[in-house]
């Protein structure tokens, strides 16, 4: 029996649709991503859960320690979030309401720390305020104690996450109709009443969303706690790491992993609900309509002082890292008491030298080669898995609405928990270096899918139908229509995967072999060892990683689609 063709449907499509049903094609698209997630995420997660629900796990000692660590994790995350809001809200007001010279450069500078690996941020503050840092050696501050304090952790978290508040709250504030404030002032409201009764109710969803996102990053922080807290402060992430490698107690580590997973999933769900909440605005305007030059003396003072504050807070740590890697200071004096002050490239030269002459010693430059190799493998795996999932999500059905949260679930788990799952499940294979790219792919895959999905959804279906009706093969359709549209998004997604792999620290620290270190792992090792030469090499490697990551950020900004969103 011959069925009539649907509107716009060709005979070739009818044959294709008949031979390969739509539901079967969608299952085929999901087959590889779901198989990967099942093997490297859900199976390790199930092993963690099975290890958790044992008699030994719920001993009074374990429960007491878990409660203590959870309370401190919540405390430092809440305090870090409040401090981030304290700096971020005035900064958001500054960028959304005033036009001043150097605004774009300062805004871009503030966004850089968010994309940097946590180990680089920790090394930057160590280079500035650490015992071998610039401030302690160049200024007469005898009793500067920064590393190993809660203050160091809080400042690094504010440094890392302020851009979240600026972007989310600033975007909402810049799009408000200025006539709302003008009307309130004409009715006699002062500045405080305008803010409290008009602006704040409208901004409340964006403030809450940014607060939840900042809290989530602070709650799962690992590199900052480990390197700046000097193991004196145990958060869930750090305690899991310690209970796996330093003070072995796998049941307690599994319990802490489950507690952290539950907390992060709850915060993620709350964030998703807040973000999707619509805010009623009266004739929203463009960002430019709310910008003006500072006119009054008070406005000029506010803009000048806050610009200097932000520039100093964000420039000094980032600049200290390469400066410290190129200069010898008094703190670098060796056992003989000999030191040459001033400019030097010795720390970079030492990256290529096996001074110990040991066959077991891995030169630091080999860590760079390892990181680049892992990053290349992560890019290939992420694109291989991300493209079919993104194609399916571009035109979602009921199946995609169910699978979409599952594919994003690794974002709700910590990197240290992923490493623990790999150890429990694939402990016999940890001698093989190829497990590291799989762990990196778990972290990078959600970002790759989100980078590809809008581009795939933007491809007009009528162009494909027209090419097919003119006799083009599936490969020719992809080459002439799909690829030109997807090229920029593919480069952006690949750069995302590459940059994330370079800076991944938590899972890599647990599962990487000593003979195959990455740059972040090598930095942590050098910082934990005494001696000015080790410290200088850590600064040199952190500078290299900061350079590579910054180049990746610039490429992402260049290739990403317009209106792709901030976070």
The tens digit of pLDDT for each residue in 278-307 reads 444 445 555 556 677 888 888 889 889 989
Running DSSP on this structure, what letter comes out for residue 42?
A: I
Question: Residues 180, 170: one domain?
Answer: yes
CA dist list (Å): 177 to 181, 183, 286, 311, 540? 8, 11, 9, 30, 49
What share of the chain in percent tops pLDDT 90?
17
Quick check: 4 pLDDT over 60?
no
**Rounded Cα gap, residues 116 and 44, in angstroms:** 28
pLDDT of residue 242: 87
Could you report how far apart the first and last alpha carbons of the chain are, in Å?
52
Question: Residues 196, 99: one domain?
Answer: yes
Quick check: 276 pLDDT over 70?
no
Is residue 426, in this structure, part of any structural domain at all? yes
Question: Residues 147, 238: one domain?
Answer: yes
pLDDT of residue 159: 93
- What are the pLDDT digits (tens) for 397-428? 887 778 877 887 887 778 888 888 888 888 77
pLDDT of residue 559: 64
- What are the pLDDT digits (tens) for 209-225? 889 989 988 998 888 89
Q: At what angle do helices 60-97 and 103-115 cross, to 10 degrees?
A: 160
Question: Residues 260, 128: one domain?
Answer: yes
Question: Residues 566, 534: one domain?
Answer: yes
Is residue 132, in this structure, part of any structural domain at all? yes
Separation of CA 538 from chain center? 22
Question: Residues 71, 37: one domain?
Answer: no
**Rounded Cα gap, residues 559 and 416, in angstroms:** 31
CA dist list (Å): 150 to 128, 157, 187, 422? 17, 11, 47, 31
Running DSSP on this structure, what letter comes out for residue 333?
A: -
The mean pLDDT of 97-105, rounded to a whole number, is 83
DSSP 227-293: HHSTTSS--HHHHHHIIIIIS--HHHHHHHHHHHHHHHHHHHHHHHHHHH-----SS---GGGG-B-
pLDDT of residue 38: 92
Is residue 532, in this structure, part of any structural domain at all? yes
Of 344, 375, 391, the residue that ends a domain is 344
Is residue 350, in this structure, part of any structural domain at all? no
**Confidence grade of residue 272 (pLDDT, cut at 50, 70, 90):** confident
Question: Residues 160, 210: one domain?
Answer: yes
pLDDT of residue 155: 94
pLDDT of residue 162: 92
pLDDT of residue 3: 44
Question: Residues 94, 174: one domain?
Answer: yes
Is residue 77, in this structure, part of any structural domain at all? yes
**Confidence grade of residue 21 (pLDDT, cut at 50, 70, 90):** low
To which H or E segment does residue 328 belong?
A: strand 327-328
CB 396 within 8 A of CB 510: no
- Residue partners of 138: CB distance under 8 A and separation at least 6: 329
Of 309, 344, 379, the residue that ends a domain is 344
- Report which of 323, 293, 404 is spatially closest to residue 138, judged by C-alpha positions: 323
| Four-CA torsion 398, 399, 404, 407, nearest 10 degrees | 170
Range of the domain at 264: 54-330+339-344
Question: Residues 494, 377: one domain?
Answer: yes
Question: In the numeric block, which tokens belong to residue 514?
Answer: 């000593």
Q: How many residues does the chain have?
A: 567
**Confidence grade of residue 357 (pLDDT, cut at 50, 70, 90):** low
Question: Residues 239, 291: one domain?
Answer: yes
**Confidence grade of residue 9 (pLDDT, cut at 50, 70, 90):** very low
CB 448 within 8 A of CB 382: yes
**Confidence grade of residue 251 (pLDDT, cut at 50, 70, 90):** confident
- What are the pLDDT digits (tens) for 448-496? 988 888 888 877 777 777 777 777 777 777 777 777 778 888 888 888 8
Is residue 5, in this structure, part of any structural domain at all? no
CB 441 within 8 A of CB 410: no
The mean pLDDT of 226-239, rounded to a whole number, is 85
The mean pLDDT of 131-158, rounded to a whole number, is 82
Question: Residues 43, 93: one domain?
Answer: no
Is residue 494, in this structure, part of any structural domain at all? yes
Is residue 131, in this structure, part of any structural domain at all? yes
To which H or E segment does residue 437 belong?
A: helix 435-457
- Residue partners of 427: CB distance under 8 A and separation at least 6: none
Place of tokens 């409201």: 189
Quick check: 87 pLDDT over 70?
yes
Least reliable range by pLDDT among 155-164, 244-253, 434-443? 244-253
CB 505 within 8 A of CB 524: yes
More reliable by pLDDT, 378 or 392: 378
More reliable by pLDDT, 138 or 381: 381
Mean pLDDT score of the chain, rounded to an integer? 80
Quick check: 16 pLDDT over 50?
no
Q: Beta partners for 292?
A: 98
Of 299, 314, 344, the residue that ends a domain is 344
Question: In the numeric block, which tokens belong to residue 173?
Answer: 């504030």
Structural domains counted in the chain: 2
Give the CATH number, domain containing residue 195.
Answer: 1.10.3720.10
**Confidence grade of residue 13 (pLDDT, cut at 50, 70, 90):** very low
Phi/psi of residue 99, nearest 5 degrees? -110, 120
Least reliable range by pLDDT among 151-165, 251-265, 327-341? 327-341
Question: Residues 35, 138: one domain?
Answer: no
């Amino acid at each position: 029996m011959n069925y009539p063709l649907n509107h716009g449907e060709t005979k070739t499509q009818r044959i294709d649709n008949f031979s390969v049903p739509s539901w079967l094609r969608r299952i085929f698209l999901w087959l590889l991503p779901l198989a990967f997630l099942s093997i490297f995420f859900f199976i390790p997660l199930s092993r963690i859960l099975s290890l958790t629900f044992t008699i030994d796990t719920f001993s009074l000692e374990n429960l007491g320690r878990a409660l203590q660590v959870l309370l401190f994790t919540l405390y430092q995350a809440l305090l870090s979030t409040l401090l981030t809001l304290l700096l971020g809200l005035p900064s958001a007001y500054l960028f959304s309401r005033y036009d001043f010279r150097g605004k774009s450069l300062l805004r871009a500078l503030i966004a850089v720390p968010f994309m940097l690996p946590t180990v680089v941020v920790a090394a930057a503050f160590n280079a500035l305020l650490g015992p071998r840092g610039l401030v302690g050696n160049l200024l007469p501050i005898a009793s500067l104690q920064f590393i190993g304090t809660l203050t160091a952790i809080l400042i690094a978290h504010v440094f890392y996450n302020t851009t979240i508040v600026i972007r989310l709250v600033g975007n909402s504030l810049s799009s408000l109709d200025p006539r709302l404030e003008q009307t309130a002032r004409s009715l006699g409201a002062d500045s405080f009443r305008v803010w409290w009764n008009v602006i704040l109710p409208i901004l409340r969803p964006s403030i809450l969303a940014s607060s939840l996102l900042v809290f989530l990053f602070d709650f799962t922080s690992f590199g900052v706690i480990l390197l700046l807290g000097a193991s004196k402060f145990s958060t869930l992430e750090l305690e899991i790491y310690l209970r796996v490698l330093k003070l072995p107690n796998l049941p307690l580590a599994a319990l802490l992993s489950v507690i952290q997973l539950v907390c992060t999933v709850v915060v993620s769900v709350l964030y998703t609900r807040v973000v999707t909440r619509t805010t009623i605005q009266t004739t929203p305007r463009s960002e430019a309509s709310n910008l003006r030059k500072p006119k009054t003396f008070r406005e000029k003072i506010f803009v000048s002082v806050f610009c200097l504050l932000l520039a100093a807070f964000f420039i000094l740590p980032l600049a200290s890292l390469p400066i410290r890697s190129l200069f010898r200071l008094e703190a670098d004096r060796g056992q003989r008491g000999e030191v040459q002050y001033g400019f030097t490239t010795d720390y970079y030269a030492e990256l290529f030298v096996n001074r110990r002459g040991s066959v077991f010693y891995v030169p630091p430059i080999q860590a760079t080669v390892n990181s680049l190799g892992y990053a290349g493998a992560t890019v290939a795996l992420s694109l291989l898995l991300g493209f079919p999932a993104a194609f399916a999500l571009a035109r979602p059905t009921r199946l995609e609405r169910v699978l979409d949260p599952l594919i994003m679930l690794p974002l709700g788990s910590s990197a240290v928990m992923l490493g623990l799952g790999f150890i429990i499940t694939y402990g016999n294979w940890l001698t093989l270096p190829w497990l590291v790219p799989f762990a990196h792919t778990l972290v990078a895959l959600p970002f790759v899918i989100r980078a590809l999905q809008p581009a795939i959804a933007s491809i007009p279906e009528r162009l494909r139908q027209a090419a097919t009706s003119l006799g083009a093969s599936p490969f020719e359709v992809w080459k002439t229509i799909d690829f030109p549209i997807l090229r920029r998004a593919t480069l952006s997604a690949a750069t995302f995967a590459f940059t994330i792999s370079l800076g991944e620290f938590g899972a890599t620290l647990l599962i990487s072999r000593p003979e195959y270190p990455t740059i972040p792992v090598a930095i942590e090792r050098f910082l934990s060892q005494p001696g000015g030469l080790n410290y200088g090499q850590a600064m040199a490697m952190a500078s290299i990683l900061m350079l590579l990551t910054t180049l990746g950020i610039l490429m992402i900004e260049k290739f990403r689609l317009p209106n792709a969103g901030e976070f």
